[in-house]
Structure formats: C-alpha cells, structure tokens
Structure 1
Amino acid sequence: MKPELFKEILKEQGIHLTDYQMEQFGIYFKLLNEWNEKINLTAITELEEVYLKHFYDSITLAFSENLNTGKISLCDVGSGAGFPSIPLKIVFPELSITIVDSLNKRINFLQLLVDSLKLEDVELYHDRAETFGQNPEFRESFDFVTARAVARLSVLNELCLPLVKLEGSFLALKAAKSDEELVEAKKSMTVLGGKFVKETEVSLPITQDQRYILTIKKVKTTPKKYPRKPGTPNKKPII
C-alpha cells in the first residue's frame, strides 16, 4: 500500500489525514528502518508493507471504538516499535498515550520517534507489564488498554485488565480468529473483572488479510493480587 493509497482508503473510512500527518508517517517509516538496522524492531521493512501491515493495521482499532471524543487515555502494553499507539496518536492528536515496554532499547527508539514527530502527551515507561499494573499511579486509570501481541488472551487479560478503569475497555488485536482461545480466557476475564463485549472483524485492503479486535469491558475492580510477579502470568495463566 503506497502512502497515497493509504491516505485515500482512510478517507473512505472517514479519517482525513492532513499533509502534516502524512509527513509524520513518512518520518516514522524512515526512523523505523534506520533503527531496525541497530535493534530488531520489525521483520516488515518494505514501504508498502509497513503502511499496510503496521500503520493501517494499527488504525483499524478506530474502526471498533470511537477514539475521537476528546481527552481519551490509552495505554499500549508491549508496544514494541509503537504499534498500535503511535499511528493512532498521529491520526487522533487529542489521545493521551502511555506506552510500557520491557526493553529499554525500544523505549529509546520510541523517545526519539516521539520527539521527531513532535508528539505531545505521550509517556514512555521501561517496565514489565506485571509491575506496571501494580503501580497505584497507573492501576485502573486508563479508558483503553491495548496489546498487539502474540500472547494468548488468558495471559493478556492479566497484563492489561488491571490497568483498565471501571467501564473502560481492554482491546486485544489478533491476527487470527480463535473461539477456543476465547473459551480458555473466560475464567481470567471473570477473575480480573472483565466481560467480553464483541469481536470486530476487519479486512486489510489489497491482501484481504483478516484482523480481529476483541473488546473486553471492565465491569469490576481487579483483585489486588493481580497481576502476579513478572513471568507468572505466562507460566501459569488463569485458566
């Protein structure tokens, strides 16, 4: 997907990008490739693939939820190279973004990216999701928490739901539909105060690759014991 087509297809979705926003995406692509030679950020490096499978894919979150209603806080857990939160911030400048990632090299890249794109109201934290979720400053404080990760939903629930405020939502981005994974994650949702609301299916342009956005609403306070110590959710998921 060339940048011009990226802009045109988003326009069809009701998202109108300015020349400045397109320039920001151009800088993002350039820095992503430069830094990818130093640290492993992504296996996807070709311009058309980055615009489709990283930039557009990240923005599909806005097809499921209304992110353009004033001051909304979004926490991106394990953001890696800034997906989906930085493309969303470029498109919706009013978003308040918090990114937590366990690798300091990635945080250094993201800091340079935020500065180069002149983004405001973006906070970056080098931390494990498990310890971050126990921090009273951040616990149950975000409207939306998202993870674009390969971990199973039962694990992601424990990493993300403790950060979601009551009536807020955890948004899990998945590349494959899995009813089995949803069934497996039912117990962790209940224990951690979440309730499954919907699954939004999105087709990427050109390739028609399917993406699935799971919306889990926070309906009860998460018990204080969660998240457990770093590594425990992955080794002993709540199932």
Structure 2
Amino acid sequence: MAKPTLSPIDRLAKFCVQNNLPWDDKTAERFEGYLGLLEHFNRAMNLIGPMEGDQIVDQLLLDSATAAAVAAPRVSVEESGEQPAGILDVGSGAGLPGIPLKILFPEVPLTMVEPRKKRTTFLKIVVERLALPDVEIARCRLEDFEEGRYDYVISKAFRAPVTWLELAAERVAADGTIICMTRPGERAELSERAQALGLELVKGCDNSTELGAPSLGEARAIYAFNVLS
C-alpha cells in the first residue's frame, strides 16, 4: 500500500518542526488561511503568477521558512523593556517572506515596504483576516521610507544580492541581521562586500535548498549576515 502523501501545510509543518521553528495549531491555522487567500486573490490580482497550492507551499512558504531556519528573528524583549525593532521586509509583494515570518513569530513586529497599491491592498486583507498583531504596511519605495533601523532585514527578490546587502546595511540595527535570499555561487562576492560594510557571514551559514523562484525550480542559497560588534 502506498504511503499517504503529506498535505502542503503538513510538509511545511514537518520542515518547521525538524528545524526547531515554532509550530502549533494557531500557526497551522494561519498558514492555511494565508494559503487560501493567496490562491483566491491570485486568480483576480495575479499576485504570484500561475501557481497552485503545492507550488505555493514548496516554492514560496517553505522558502520563507528556510530563511528563519538559517537565522531566526530575535523574539526576546530588550533588557530596557522595549520591544525589539523587529522585521523589515522590503518589496514584500504578496507578503513574502514577511507574512510567513510573522506567522511563525507573531510576537515580533513586522514592517512591509511595498509600493504597488494592489499588493498593499492584499496585504491589508491578509493582516486583518489572520488577525496578525503589530504589522505596518508602508506603501512606498524603500528610498522614500524614512523609518529607523530594524533587527532583521530581509527581501525575497528586491535587488541584485550585493546591491541588496548595501541597501539593507543602511536599515539594519547595530546588533541586527540581514538575510540574503539568492542562488548558490554568490557567497564569495557577498562575503567580500559584507566585510567592507562592517558585516560578517553567520558562522556555518551556507544553506542551499532546492526551492526556487516561481516556475524556475532553481536552487536557492540563503545567507545571514550580522553586524560586526
């Protein structure tokens, strides 16, 4: 008898548990809700291209979770009692990777910068339907976004990797982390530029996956850089 195949959300749950990422019934419920919203609104808005449930989970949601497996956002409250500055997701589009990260770490503030009206409308619907707390949606370009620095700065495909590292370095907090979601083979150039920017590759951070951009199926490499103390 053939083994029953896991549902898309069950595959995501398995990945998160295996990588010590938080998972409970509420997390599963929110991911189910987000997947349903992506599928429903994608038909009218073309948010992510011609993708169905399995593809969305394998290529987009798992890809976002992999970033947290490489280096998770900081969730602890500062000694001063102030809440950490949280996650900055630049060019968030349909909420990737920001919404999956927020679902996994609901206590961490999330700011999403996205200039396109259709996308920000969708993001507002997602935040409301999933009852996600402490989320800011900034409808503007990064260069017009004047807020401060963040603990965890990430983008899925905003700029070329080295350019993204340079832009993110201007937005990361003094003890924060920058995530580069790219392709294998970029590590040497990124590491060299990081050093000049006062950043260092997280030790042991050489995580490649077979999760690709939509419809491409290309291998991914996700690198985390910390600000040098």
> Taking structure 2 as the reference length, what is the TM-score of the superposition?
0.80
State the AA in 2 paired with 1:144: Y
* 1:177 alignment partner in structure 2: 184
- Per-residue deviation, residues 99-142 of structure 1 (Å, max 9, x unmatched): 0012121111001100000000111101111222xx2x32xx20
* 2:172 alignment partner in structure 1: 164
Q: What percentage of aligned pairs have identical amino acids?
A: 28
Residue number among 50, 53, 60 corresponding to 1:47 in the alignment: 53
Whether the 8 Å contact between 1:44 and 1:50 is mirrored in structure 2 is no
Say whether 1:104 aligns with 2:121.
Answer: no
Say whether 1:121 aligns with 2:121.
Answer: no
After superposition, the Cα gap between the structure-2 partners of 1:62 and 1:185, relative to the gap in structure 1 and judged at 3 Å, is: closer
| CA RMSD in angstroms, aligned pairs only | 2.6
Q: Quote how far apart the aligned CAs of 1:38 are.
A: 2.6
Structure 1's consecutive aligned runs of 4 or more residues displaced over 3 angstroms after TM superposition are 184-187, 189-199
- SS of 2:206's equivalent? strand
Whether the 8 Å contact between 1:74 and 1:145 is mirrored in structure 2 is yes
* 2:160 alignment partner in structure 1: 152
Gaps of 5+ in 1: 221-239
Whether the 8 Å contact between 1:77 and 1:160 is mirrored in structure 2 is no
After superposition, the Cα gap between the structure-2 partners of 1:68 and 1:193, relative to the gap in structure 1 and judged at 3 Å, is: closer
Whether the 8 Å contact between 2:191 and 2:201 is mirrored in structure 1 is no
1: CA distance, partners of 2:44 / 2:108: 30
Equivalent residues, number: 210
Whether the 8 Å contact between 2:162 and 2:189 is mirrored in structure 1 is no
* 1:84 alignment partner in structure 2: 97
Whether the 8 Å contact between 1:60 and 1:202 is mirrored in structure 2 is no
State the AA in 2 paired with 1:70: S
Moved more, 114-123 or 145-154: 145-154
Q: Quote how far apart the aligned CAs of 1:83 are.
A: 0.9
> Taking structure 1 as the reference length, what is the TM-score of the superposition?
0.77
